[in-house]
Structure 1
Amino acid sequence: MSRTTALDPLFTAVDTAAFTDRHLANLAAGTLAAVRVPDFLGNAACRAALSALDRLPTTDYDPGRVPTPIVRFGPALNDYRDQDGHLDAERYWRDAEAARVAWHRAALRPDPIAVSMGHLSAAWGAALAPATINGRAVFGGTLREINAGALIHYDDINREYPTGLFDQEVIAQLAFNVWVAVPPTGGATTVWRHRWEPADDHHRQAYGYRSETVEHCQHVTLTPKLGDGLLFNPANFHAVEPNPDGRRIAFAFFLGLTTTGQLITWS
C-alpha cells in the first residue's frame, strides 16, 4: 500500500539577505528545510577562489565506495571510520595536517572558508570554534566538485560515531555550502523531510539509498547560483542531481550545536 504524507507548512526553503540566529535555530530544531543567501560570496571572490583551485591537491573518492565521481580536497571525518565505528586516528590526523599545510600554501585570498565562518559567527552572536578530539582541533573546510551527482544520503555525526567522537556534545548538525562555480543547468540539491529509520536499510545503495526511500516524502529542491550560501540540516535525506556540462564546485563544512549553545565546525 502506498504511503502519503501530509505537507508540513514549516518545511520550506527560505531566501534571505543574511543568515540569522533564528535561521540556525530553526534548522537545528527541524522547523525549516533550508536557508539560502544569494551572493553570499561576490563574483570577484568566487573567481579568486576558482583560480586558486589548481594549487590545492585534489583527489577522487574510491569508486568502490562512491560510484559517482566526486573530486575533493580535505579530509571528512565520516571517511575515517574503521569497521567498529571508531576513528582511524593515525590516518585522519596525518591527512588533516597535510590538508592544513596545503591550504596555507594555496593562499586563497579572500579565504572562502574564513569569510563564511565569519558571517555565521556574526549571525549566531558568538565565534564558531573547531570541534576537538582529546583537545586537538579537527580540520574544517572541504572542497567538493560534484558533476555526476550524489546519491540520496544523510549525514549525522552522532550516528556515524555512536560512542562519541568530539570533546563537545553535539545535539544538532547543520551543513553549509558556498558555490564558486555552477553549471548552466542541473546540479540541484534536494532535501527531503525524512530522517533515517531502520526500514531504510532495505534500500541501501553504496554509501546512500535508492529513491524508494523518499518517494512519498515532502521535499525542497534548490538549484545553486554562483556565490550562493546554503544551510540545511543534513540529518534530512538529501541528494545532488547530475549536471550535463559545466562545473559545480563548493566549499563546505558542518556546524554542530552543542549542549552549551556553542557552534562548532568540522568536515
Structure 2
Amino acid sequence: MPRTALDPLFTPTDAPGGFTERHLAHLIGATAAAVTVPRFLDEQTCADTLAALERLPTAAYDLERVPTPIVRFGPSLNDYRTAAGGLDAERYWRDAEAARVSWQRARLRPDPVALSLARLGTAWGSAISPATIGGRPVFAGTLREINEGALLHYDDVRREFPCRLFDQETVAQLAFNVWAAVPETGGATTLWRHRWDPADEQHRYSYGYRSKTVEHCQQVSLRPQLGGALLFNPAHFHEVQANPGQRRIALAYFLALTTTGQLITWS
C-alpha cells in the first residue's frame, strides 16, 4: 500500500504563554490540529470546580442515544434537537435557566467559565458573547465526566441544525476543554485529519461513526493534564479514549466565528 502523505500543518501546538490570535486563526482556518495551554487553571481552581460539581445537579445522557455513560452538568443544545432538526425550545430554555441559577449559586471564584472566556476574548481582541436564539442568550459551560470514552464523531452546529439555529451567522466552529480532574492513564483525545463526507454515513454508529471512517487518516492524540486547556476545530473527527476506574472531568463549550468577525459561545 502506498504511504499516505502527511500534512505538515496538522500538528498540535503547546502554548505555555496562553492562547493568541494566531492560534485561533490557524484553528479556524484548519491549518493546525490543536492548541494546548498547560496550567490554564491552577490546582485550587480545579479543586474548587470539582467540589462544585458535587453540589450541582447532574444527569447522564440517554444510553439509547449515547451508548457510553457520560454524566454532565448543564444542557447541550444537541440534547434538545428534534427529529426534524429543530430545537425543543420549551424544554431547552427551562433547563438552561435552571442550570444558570445552579451555577450562580455554586459561587465559584474565580468562575472558570468567565475566566476562560475572558482569556480567549483577550487573545481574539474582542469580548466573546453568548450565541442567541430569538434574542435570548444560550447556556455555555457544561461540566462533563467522561470515563468510558466517547465515540468517534464530529461537531458542526450548521449541520446539526441546518435551518440555522442562532441569530448570528457562523462560518467556523471551535471546541474548548479544560480539565478539573484527569486519569493517570487513558482519557486521551484523538483528532483525525478528516472532515465529514457523505460516504461516511455508511459507517454511522449511534451518534458517531465506526473507526473505518478514519482508516489511514493522519491523527494526533493528546492526553489531558490537570488544569490544562485544549482548543481544536471539532469539524475534524475526534474521539475520547476510555479511562476505566478513574475520573476525567472537563469544563467544555463551543466557540464560533461569525460573519461579522465576532466570537460567540454555547454548549
For 2:175 and 2:15, the matched residues in 1 are separated by: 17
For 1:254 and 1:40, the matched residues in 2 are separated by: 17
Cα RMSD for the two superposed structures: 1.0
Query: Which residue number corresponds to residue 147 of structure 1?
Result: 147
CA pair 175-3 structure 1, distance change in 2 beyond 3 A: farther
1:168-183 residue pairs with structure 2 within 5 A? Answer: 168-183=168-183
2:113 is the alignment partner of 1:113? yes
For 1:117 and 1:5, the matched residues in 2 are separated by: 38
SS state of the match for residue 79, structure 1? helix
> Which ranges of 4 or more aligned residues in structure 1 deviate by more than 4 Å?
none
Return the TM-score normalized by structure 1: 0.98
Q: CA deviation at 1:70?
A: 0.3
Q: CA deviation at 1:245?
A: 2.8
2:186 is the alignment partner of 1:186? yes
SS state of the match for residue 174, structure 2? strand
Number of aligned residue pairs: give it: 266
Query: Which residue number corresponds to residue 38 of structure 2?
Result: 38
Q: CA deviation at 1:80?
A: 1.0
For 2:244 and 2:96, the matched residues in 1 are separated by: 33
Query: Which residue number corresponds to residue 50 of structure 1?
Result: 50
For 1:219 and 1:248, the matched residues in 2 are separated by: 22
Query: Which residue number corresponds to residue 9 of structure 1?
Result: 8
Q: Which ranges of structure 1 fall in alignment gaps of 5 or more residues?
A: none
For 1:208 and 1:39, the matched residues in 2 are separated by: 31
For 2:64 and 2:52, the matched residues in 1 are separated by: 30
| Conserved? CA contact 1:185–1:245, under 8 Å | no
One-letter amino acid of the counterpart of residue 5, structure 1: T
2:266 is the alignment partner of 1:258? no
One-letter amino acid of the counterpart of residue 81, structure 1: R
Q: CA deviation at 1:255?
A: 0.3
SS state of the match for residue 230, structure 2? strand
1:119-130 residue pairs with structure 2 within 5 A? Answer: 119-130=119-130
Query: Which residue number corresponds to residue 61 of structure 1?
Result: 61
CA pair 98-4 structure 1, distance change in 2 beyond 3 A: farther
For 2:101 and 2:44, the matched residues in 1 are separated by: 25
Q: CA deviation at 1:244?
A: 2.8
Q: CA deviation at 1:4?
A: 5.8
Q: Which ranges of structure 2 fall in alignment gaps of 5 or more residues?
A: none
One-letter amino acid of the counterpart of residue 145, structure 1: E
For 1:3 and 1:190, the matched residues in 2 are separated by: 24
One-letter amino acid of the counterpart of residue 146, structure 2: I
SS state of the match for residue 191, structure 1? strand
| Deviation per residue, 1:217-262 (Å, 9 max, x gap) | 0011000110001000001000000013320000010000001100
SS state of the match for residue 115, structure 1? helix
For 1:99 and 1:223, the matched residues in 2 are separated by: 29
For 2:3 and 2:86, the matched residues in 1 are separated by: 38
| Conserved? CA contact 1:49–1:110, under 8 Å | no
Identity percentage of aligned residues: 69
Return the TM-score normalized by structure 2: 0.98
SS state of the match for residue 110, structure 1? coil
Q: CA deviation at 1:51?
A: 1.4
